[in-house]
């Protein structure tokens, strides 16, 4: 009887551990750049491309490609930009300034979050989940600069990570949208 109880306890612990690792991005609610709440569960059924962004970076022109991709795949994809000022002070503006810049310069219509940290002791919970295999169950990633990208499936499961130099219209990303 003790062996059966021990075996069932091990199975239950394993199942609980696997359940934790298979959590999805849909568990998160984030603050939008307008100060509203974005419930990522509302994106169930769509793929999600998460990008840490900055307005004064050499990669900033990727906003144009992100917006084109968003317009092209709007029925199956949502892109969420996460402004961050942790790399060279390249996102030092206020949230209102960031929003104005993105709309006037690149016509951005995809959702933007409030400014967050994507690494370090004040890391946003969503980026802690994205960057740690122990939380997302898929991979570890280290954000080293602006415009790193994560793509997630329709169920909110992490599929892949891409560094800054991978453009939004690259085959590496597009293959997940076919």
| Secondary structure string (H, E, C) spanning the chain | CHHHHHHHHHHHHHHHHHHHHCCCHHHCEEEECCCCEEEHHHHCCCEEEEEEECCCCCCCCHHHHHHHHHHHCCCCEEEEEEECCCCCCCCCCCHHHHHHHHHHHHCCCCCEECCCCCCCCCCCHHHHHHHCHHHHCCCCCCCCCCCCEEEECCCCCEEEEECCCCCCCCHHHHHHHC
pLDDT for the residue 2:
63
- Our answer to whether residue 57 is catalytic in this structure is yes
| Cross-strand bridge partners of residue 112 | 81
Residue 142 has pLDDT above 60, yes or no: yes
- Work out the average pLDDT over 5-27: 58
All structural domains of the chain: 24-177 (3.40.30.10)
| Higher-pLDDT residue of 21, 166 | 166
- Work out the average pLDDT over 81-102: 97
- What is the average pLDDT score of the chain? 92
Between strands 29-31 and 37-39, the pairing is antiparallel
Residue 17 has pLDDT above 50, yes or no: no
Residue 3 pLDDT grade (very low, low, confident, very high; cuts 50, 70, 90) = low
Angle at 70 between CA 127 and CA 99, to 5 degrees: 65
Query: pTM for this structure?
Result: 0.88
C-alpha distances (whole Å) from 10 to each of 17, 68, 103, 151 are: 10, 49, 53, 33
Residue 12 has pLDDT above 60, yes or no: no
Residue 21 has pLDDT above 60, yes or no: no
pLDDT for the residue 10:
53
Least confident of 8-12, 64-68, 124-128: 8-12
**Among residues 10, 88, 79, which one has the least CA distance to residue 50?**
79
Radius of gyration of the chain (CA): 18
Residue 4 pLDDT grade (very low, low, confident, very high; cuts 50, 70, 90) = low
Residue 57 has pLDDT above 90, yes or no: yes
């Amino acid at each position: 009887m003790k062996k059966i109880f021990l075996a069932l306890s091990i199975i239950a612990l394993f199942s609980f551990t696997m359940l934790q690792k298979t959590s999805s991005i849909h568990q998160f609610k984030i603050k939008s750049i307008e100060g509203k709440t974005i419930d990522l569960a509302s994106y169930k059924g769509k793929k999600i491309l998460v990008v840490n962004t900055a307005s004064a970076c050499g990669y900033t022109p990727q906003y144009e490609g992100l917006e084109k991709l968003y317009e092209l795949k709007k029925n199956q994809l949502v892109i969420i930009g996460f402004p961050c000022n942790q790399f060279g002070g390249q996102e030092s503006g206020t949230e209102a300034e960031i929003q104005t810049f993105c709309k006037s310069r690149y016509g951005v219509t995809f959702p933007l979050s409030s400014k967050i940290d994507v690494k370090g002791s004040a890391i946003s919970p969503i980026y802690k989940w994205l960057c740690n295999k122990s939380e997302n169950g898929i991979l570890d990633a280290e954000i080293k600069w602006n415009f790193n990208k994560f793509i997630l499936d329709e169920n909110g499961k992490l599929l892949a990570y891409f560094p800054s130099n991978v453009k939004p219209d690259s085959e590496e990303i597009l293959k997940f949208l076919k």
